[in-house]
Structure 1
Amino acid sequence: MTTLVVCVDRANDIGRKTGLRTPVAGWEAVRSLVVEVGLADPEDSSVNCLLEALRVARDLRDDREEAVVAVVSGAGESVVGADRSVAQQLDDLIDQYDPESAVVVIDSAQDERLVPIIESRLRVDSVDRVIVRQARDIESTYYLLKQFLGDEELRQTVLVPLGIGLLLMPILLLQFSLAVALAGLASLLGAALLYKGLAIDELLEDLPERTREALYSGQVSVVTYVVGAGLALVGVFLGALSVRDAGTVEPAFIPAVRFVYASVPWLALAALAASAGRLVDEFIRDDAVRMPYLNLPFGVVALGLVLRGFAGFFLEREDALQTIEFVVPQFGTVVISPGLRLGLFVVAGLVVSLVGVKIAADVSDETLDEEMVE
């Protein structure tokens, strides 16, 4: 197994200062090249890069591995020409030495851009980046900044929201206080980070294509998703109305509980409609339904019951919801206390959840038996 230890010089500093053509391969040739580069420019970091390549090759040989040390540089008038020159030099080295892997030695962020070219031809086991010790902090900071500014995705994720926030900052300061302005800026940056962190941009990018495929394939879930979205909007609307119509001064958390109590049934119906459509699509496509899709409707109903129960409990305790009372002929008026009401809703949720697990398990067992028979 031969390993190619290659020192990369994209800017062709070595060839320009020494007048030598690359590739240069072999221990003695590279060691002589170190002297030539050092005499031409003692302050050039390429000297350290060449020495590091020699050290790596020596360590590999000490471990009884075959190692060939070489130097390639971008001899071209343009960036594309320089990269093609490096690619041609690598092809020549591969034809001559037939290595199975490579260790890439670089000394700058610019040289690191050639790593994909090497990876397209050889398996790269390691990338060894040389930083001159006297300038380690400055070089590292410069490298990180250059790498950050060169990454288009990072620029769009961080610099664009930050720039918008800084542009809006003077307007917010003119209209509001410093605290409000800082809060608005923090909210903007937080929303941008969540937008990228949760991959919402990828979901939105794929949404038109997925919707078009669903419409063309006649999936039932397209209709049920629209129904679910409508029911969810109804739930949010009714929840907002319940908060607005409260009218009395209440503790801070009571409006939130009112919203949950009024909106949960509709939100549960929305989720139930969406999951039912997905379940039907699954059955039509595969003539069978996987266990998670069977569990989902029961889980939605169970969660809605539990949330409704807890919201009703808090509202009754704050006298914001009327206590349930009904008349039994032989026992008179029966009052359902808040605790009993909560317990009934929780038990109902558990029962629905267990029923869903049981049905899903039975259907899965039947499907498995049919597959075994076939």
Structure 2
Amino acid sequence: MTTLVLCVDRSNDVGHAAGLELPIVGWEAVQSLVTDVGLADPEDSSVNCLLEALRVARDLRDEREETVVAVVAGGRDSLVGADRSLSTQVDALVEEYDPDSAIVVLDSANDERVVPVIESRVRVDSVDRVVVRQAHDIESTYYLLKQFLADEELRSTVLVPLGATLLFLPILLTQFPPAVALAGLAAVLGAALLYKGLAVDEYLAEVPDRVRAALYSGRVSVVTYAVSLGLGLVGIFLGALSVSPQLGPESVVLRTMQFTYNAVPWLALAALTASAGRLLDELIGTDGVSTPYLNLPFGVVALGLVVRGFAGWFLQREAVLPDPFIFGYIVTPQQRLAAFIVVGIVVSIVGVRVAASVSGESIEDVVQ
């Protein structure tokens, strides 16, 4: 059994460095070639590839296996010409030595592309890729970059925003201060990455189909969702208008509580409208109303009461809101907060009992 140990150099760096014509066959000839290539360019990884071919041939010879070690190369004119030259050399070796199999030794991804050419001439039992130890990280980085650039989705996610950022950076630097320009670009780049990372594009792509299906199915929730969106915008607008500018930028908590206190009723009404539309869809349907949809309106109202109570407690303590009077008595911030919490809990319990009575389940099942 004869094994052909084939050292492949597609770009013919070996032949160019040593000034020799390839193929080169035989232990002594390849050993001499290692010296010539090493003296010509000690940093060339082809030296390690040649030594690896000699090592493989020696190990096979120690196992009493007949081996032929050879070096084949392509050319530097073109890839097609290089591969044809290399295939011609392999054909000559196969015709002369008639090997039963071959072991291919190479040192780069470029050389690895000719393995199918060799396999079409002789059976390849193994491909031994040599990586110089000092350059291992560089080789790994190269392959990672190669896989990254081959992935179209990753390219569009990372390279397109990065390229747009680098393209607009000089323009913004000429129009705005460096801090403003860099901050704006960082925000835009971050938004683009979050847009892809959170799959917002996939969700938005499904929105037209969902809206079309909802309109064709005659769901009431389509209208109530639109109404709830308008109510939410009204709440945000009124909450922003209610913020007192005289508090100053240092009173962030009070300004936030003012916004929350005035926006929560509208936001709760928006959520209540949306949940009512979903509940009506369930009532119109033939499957009946499920317990979560019965609980949802009461939960929205209870949550809105509790949040508004805490916001009012902050504002009343800081004298932003006046102390309310009930039957001639002043209500303290603690009493006000307790009243809102109690009412919220009562509303939540009423919702659980209503859901249990309508669905025919026990209260323990509804709570679970």
Does the alignment reach a TM-score above 0.5? yes
Q: Distance in 2 between matches of 1:296 and 1:175?
A: 51
Distance 1:137 1:229 in 2: 53
What residue is the counterpart of 1:352 in the other structure?
347
Q: Report the Cα distance in structure 1 between the residues aligned to 2:361 and 2:342, rounded to whole angstroms.
A: 29
Q: Distance in 1 between matches of 2:166 and 2:356?
A: 56
Conserved? CA contact 1:291–1:364, under 8 Å:
yes
The offset of 1:283, in angstroms, is 3.0
Q: What CA distance in whole angstroms lies between the structure 2 residues aligned with 1:357 and 1:288?
A: 17
Q: Which residue of 1 aligns with 2:24?
A: none
Change in Cα spacing, 1:279 to 1:295, as seen in structure 2 (3 Å) is: same
For the pair 1:334 / 2:329, whether they are aligned, the reply is: yes
Deviation, 1:202, is 1.2
Q: Deviations over 1:217-274 (max 9, x none)?
A: 111111001110110111011112112x554547122222111111111011111111
8 Å CA contact 2:107–2:131 kept in 1: the answer is no
Counterparts of 1:31 and 1:253 in 2: how far apart (Å)?
A: 82
Offset at residue 322 of structure 1 (A): 1.4
TM-score, normalized by length of structure 2? Answer: 0.62
Residues 1:322 and 2:317 are matched in the alignment: no
Distance 2:99 2:348 in 1: 72
Does the 8 A contact of 1:316 with 1:322 survive in 2? yes
C-alpha distance in 1 between matches for 2:183 and 2:281: 45
* Equivalent residue letter for 1:295: N
Q: What is the CA–CA distance in structure 2 between the aligned matches of 1:43 and 1:269, rounded to whole Å? A: 69
RMSD: 3.7
Q: Percent of counterpart pairs with the same letter?
A: 58
Tell me by how many angstroms 1:316 deviates: 1.1
Distance of aligned partners of 1:349 and 1:31 in 2 relative to their CA distance in 1, 3 Å threshold: farther
In the other structure, the counterpart of 1:289 is 289
Write the mapping of 1:223-238 to structure 2, written as runs, cut at 5 A: 223-238=223-238
When residues 196 and 355 of structure 1 are mapped into structure 2, their CA distance, relative to the original with a 3 A threshold, is farther
- Kindly provide the CA deviation profile for residues 178-198 of structure 1, in whole angstroms up to 9, marking residues without a partner as x: 332232222112212221232
Indicate if the aligned counterparts of 1:48 and 1:132 stay in contact, CA closer than 8 A: no
Conserved in 2, the CA contact under 8 Å of 1:239 and 1:262? yes
TM-score if structure 1 supplies the norm length? Answer: 0.62
Q: 1:43 to 1:302 in 2, by over 3 A?
A: same
| Structure 1 pair 296–150 and aligned structure 2 pair: CA distance change class (3 A) | farther
Against the structure 1 CA distance between its residues 139 and 263, is the aligned structure 2 distance closer, same or farther, given a 3 Å change threshold? same
| Cα distance in 1 for residues equivalent to 2:359 and 2:304 | 25
Structure 2: stretches of 5+ with no match in the other structure: 1-78, 93-97, 121-125, 363-368
Q: Evaluate the alpha carbon distance shift between residue 318 and residue 140 of structure 1 in structure 2; reply closer, same or farther with a 3 A threshold.
A: same
Alignment of 1:153-164 (within 5 A): 153-164=153-164
Deviation digits for residues 192-223 of structure 1 (CA, Å, limit 9, x no counterpart)? 22212322111110111111111111111110
1:326–1:334 Cα contact (<8 Å) kept: yes
Partner of 2:138: 138
Q: Which residue of 1 aligns with 2:215?
A: 215
Structure 1: gaps (5+ residues):
1-10, 21-28, 50-71, 76-84, 86-104, 108-129, 328-332, 368-374
Cα distance between partner residues in 2 of 1:253 and 1:202: 36
> Once the 2 structures are TM-superposed, how far is the Cα of residue 363 of structure 1 from its aligned partner?
4.0
Maintained 8 Å contact 1:231/1:267: yes
CA distance in 1: counterparts of 2:282 and 2:139, whole angstroms: 56
Matches within 5 A, 1:1-374: 16=87, 18=90, 32-34=101-103, 37-38=104-105, 42-43=106-107, 73=116, 132=131, 134=133, 135-243=135-243, 246-249=245-248, 251-327=251-327, 333-366=328-361
Cα deviation for residue 291 of structure 1 reads 2.7
Provide closer, same or farther for how the CA distance between residues 46 and 346 of structure 1 changes in structure 2, counting only shifts above 3 A: same
Shift of 1:358: 3.6
In structure 2, distance between residues paired with 1:106 and 1:293: 63
Q: Give yes or no for contact 1:235–1:262 (8 Å, CA) kept in 2.
A: yes
Q: Deviations over 1:342-361 (max 9, x none)?
A: 12112222222233334334
Matched residue of 2:329: which SS? strand
Q: Distance in 1 between matches of 2:127 and 2:215?
A: 52
What's the CA shift string for 1:289-348, capped at 9, x where partnerless?
A: 223322222222122111111111111112111111133xxxxx2111111111211222
Q: Which residue of 1 aligns with 2:65?
A: none
